[in-house]
Chains A and B, each alone.
Chain A
């Protein structure tokens, strides 16, 4: 797998590189951007922002609530013990279990969604450079059709280093 990428010292030059690549006919999917920290307020970092995580977390919570409702009710009916003159199916204390399970399943659902959608655990892609941890921003293209055009677009934006 071939790749061409460049490292940029700041978000503005990385933005110019992304703009240049798009002008050269590349789509968002073809352009790889990597940074050592979240770079909000830069359009190139706004890709892939929409997520179903909130809905999936809510769904997880609903599953937890349903499971806890079933567990408490079923077990109380399976072995009915009279405790402190409370009803056999005692909803007040059951609400505590239901609340905890709702939250636990919501948390687990959001973590699971994170891992699946962010590709974790996984292998590092073809394009990566440890210098991103020193504050550099990587912009590159994997398997470029026209490597010369890509390199030109990256150079014009003010790349400090271009690597193949």
Chain B
């Protein structure tokens, strides 16, 4: 690997950390104000009570739990994809992994916030923790909500460590390339990293172990989120396929989130030399695969219910496909299947723009899917006298919008403070031994550039 390449790499990937334009401050101020409005709205909800939301008998789960499931799904973009690509030693993962892992950490934090918002009295959140209360009552481990607590805690801890450990060598790089307060701060974060063979070997061993451990944990997390629904005898919830269906949907929306994040980074941080069209093409193919898998699950689920002809389930099915929820349902089908299938199955359309359009569609479609799982079933339980309707109130809409702003804000701040592409992994990828195995990928990039 040439020194010139290394210097160029350092310069390109450290530029966002060392140079700040007025646009950054403007964006942070804009997003920060939306987040502040969201926090203010939440405070207002706590002050006035849960009655300010549209949640009412019989629909006790609505926007907040939809958002919870949606954001936990988005979190599957990062660590899971990164761990799989790391284990199969896919060379093209190098510029992608950190962009992806950051999504996991922040999406999990935001997702985990929603059950707390939904508590109404969030200061009692600690009741979920496994400790005996004053009456020596422990959390009931037979409750899926307690499973959520353990699964999300494990996944969040693992994902944050999986993200942070490979950042240590890059912190050392920033330490050596900066002066003043940056040198001191990044020096502390680098933990005294030098780069001896022992340190590199230990880091790689730890990453391998964590990659192996984090994959089943990621699968378990969304399976357990699906158990929140499938353990309840509610029409169209009590299904054995909810686990894999939720996991597939989570990976689907996660990849869409990753494509959008990568396209934004490429555009605004000028990372065209590192995030190639090939990366988007590969992720686009994965997105297409997940779209087909999602359609398969929806078909299998709907066919089984239709064939079974159980009245309470047919009532929910009809209200989503032909009743008041039909516009949302068919928008979901278009966004999750028709749009990505059309764009991504045609090679000419599988460009960066095409992948981003498909991804935006998938994000909208998957949010609608979560909403359509939660609300219609609760509103149409077994006996018609208990049926009800739900209309979201401004509080819920504002908090929902603010979480999207929070996600973007956290991502923007992270990419300002940490190299968003793992620099040492990029250097390692240029090593002759690695470069040979990645030659095919480079050829594909060149071929595409010529085309």
A residues sitting closer than 8 Å to B (CB atoms) are 9-10, 32-41, 44-49, 51, 53-54, 57, 71-72, 75-76, 78-79, 81, 83-84, 86, 90, 93-94, 96-97, 99-101, 103-104, 106-108, 110-111, 113-115, 117-125, 128, 130, 132-136
Contact = CB atoms under 8 A, between A and B. Distances in A.
8 contacts: A38-B201, A49-B197, A83-B142, A100-B151, A101-B154, A104-B157, A107-B154, A110-B213
Interface string B1-36: 111011100100000000000000000000000000
A70 to B, nearest CB: 11
A142 B214 CA distance: 40
B204 interface: yes
B424 interface: yes
B195 A107 contact: no
Contacts of B197: 33, 35, 39, 44-49
A133 B205 contact: no
Given A37-B427, A99-B220, A132-B194, 20 more contacts: A33-B196, A34-B196, A36-B173, A45-B200, A51-B202, A51-B205, A57-B213, A72-B141, A78-B132, A100-B151, A103-B216, A104-B153, A110-B205, A114-B202, A114-B203, A120-B192, A120-B199, A121-B191, A125-B194, A128-B194
Given A36-B6, A72-B141, A133-B176, A106 B192 contact: no
Contacts of B161: 107, 111
A34 B198 contact: no
Contacts of B428: 37-38
Nearest to A104: B154
Interface of B: 1-3, 5-7, 10, 130, 132, 136-143, 146-147, 150-151, 153-154, 157-158, 161, 165, 168-169, 172-173, 176-177, 191-206, 209-210, 213-214, 216-217, 220, 224, 424-425, 427-428, 431, 433
Given A79-B136, A114-B206, A122 B191 contact: yes
Given A36-B424, A37-B424, A117 B213 contact: no
